[in-house]
Amino acid sequence: MQLSRFPRLRFAHLPTPLERLDRLSEALGGPEIWIKRDDCTGLSTGGNKTRKLEFLMAEAKAEGADMVMTQGATQSNHARQTAAAAAKLGMACHLLLEDRTGSREMDYTANGNVLLDDLHGASREKRPGGLDMNAEMEAVAERFRAAGRRVYTIPGGGSNPTGALGYVNCAHELMGQANDAGLAIDALVHATGSAGTQAGLVVGLKAMNADVALLGIGVRAPKAKQEGNVFALAQATAEKIGLAGLVERADVVANTDYVGEGYGIPAPSTIEAIRMFAELEGILLDPVYSGKGAAGLIDLVRKGEFAKGQRVVFLHTGGSAALFGYRGAFDGPSSAGEAR
Ligand SMILES: *Cc1c(COP(=O)(O)O)cnc(C)c1O
């Protein structure tokens, strides 16, 4: 497999750092916890969609598009990174934002990622929750095409086999760093949503026979559905790189116990995880994805799911810009309180 055979533009800051979380590891008293900083990919406050967009935007350019379109939730990090990539490449960007939470708070509807979408010059329109958003997007794309635009549509989260190549590549990057550092990784944990990140990682790790247990922490769908989505995309991604049949159903594991009330609604464990990373490590998580992923990691460590002496890597997928859309979720007291 040579990923260099696929068109790719370079705008991510890579490799992202791999760092040890000394204070969090000590506070939890379990395995050694490391972090892979994909919140530091460089584009408009960073995040995991940037790796996918290197491949997706290259395809858009190759097809002669002058406009990209994508869809996501109101506070979509993917929409924001797409808007930023389009700005950098001199392309127009149109976003369809779905109201999945029903929140009427000004911070949610206008600050955070929404503010950044606007700053990057993207146009946007809203949709109520529960629609088939990819179908909505295709309908709007037809409208633009009829008006003469050459539109390239990107599915929600950039999650198709092209976008997932970004995380096949991340698996290689991570194992290269681990090899260089003499670090044997036992498990890799991250938030999983539209499935592209986990699908790419499953394929990349399996192709290398890395022997790393990969665990996606769900943020929306129930377990069977989430694993099914990841598996289907992983199969298609493996096929794209000439490794059809590589991935088995058992390679795909998601834990969806940390979703709370629903997508985009932080649970108490989400808030606790955000506070712990902020107070112990100076690292910002987000209330929709990485906060839930970290909540899963923290709880599983507390339950003894990972043994002392093991090395667990948390893939930080970004999203901190969304914090400013959720100010009200942090009204309670700090967990560290007066301890310092
Ligand atoms: C999109 C996103 C995820 C989930 O990645 P998928 O590839 O959609 O599964 C995780 N964390 C953050 C911050 C995201 O924006």
pLDDT at 333 (0 to 100):
65
pLDDT at 337 (0 to 100):
44
**Gap between the Cα atoms of 317 and 262, Å rounded:** 19
pLDDT at 1 (0 to 100):
74
Residue 67 tokens, joined: 């406009």
Instruction: Provide φ and ψ at 271, rounded to 5°.
Output: -65, -40
**In the sheet that 18-20 helps form, which strands lie side by side, from edge to edge?**
18-20, 32-37, 311-316, 187-192, 213-218, 254-255
| pTM exceeding the 0.95 threshold for the entire prediction | yes
**Gap between the Cα atoms of 273 and 287, Å rounded:** 9
320 is catalytic: no
From ligand 1's centre to the CA of 299, what distance in Å?
20
pLDDT at 2 (0 to 100):
87
Residue 289 tokens, joined: 């994805």
Residue segments in the chain with a per-residue pLDDT below the cut of 50: 336-340
Atom of ligand 1 nearest to the CA of 290: 11
**Gap between the Cα atoms of 187 and 233, Å rounded:** 21
What is residue 217's DSSP assignment? Answer: E
Task: Write out the E strands in 193-245.
Answer: 213-218
**Gap between the Cα atoms of 152 and 55, Å rounded:** 13
Atom of ligand 1 nearest to the CA of 286: 13
Shortest CA distance to 296 belongs to which of 281, 314, 278, 282?
314
From ligand 1's centre to the CA of 98, what distance in Å?
16
Q: Which of 16, 45, 49 gets mutated to test ligand 1 (max ligand atoms within 8 A of its CB)?
A: 49
Catalytic residue (choose from 44, 76, 194, 290) = 76
pLDDT at 334 (0 to 100):
61
From ligand 1's centre to the CA of 273, what distance in Å?
17
pLDDT at 152 (0 to 100):
98
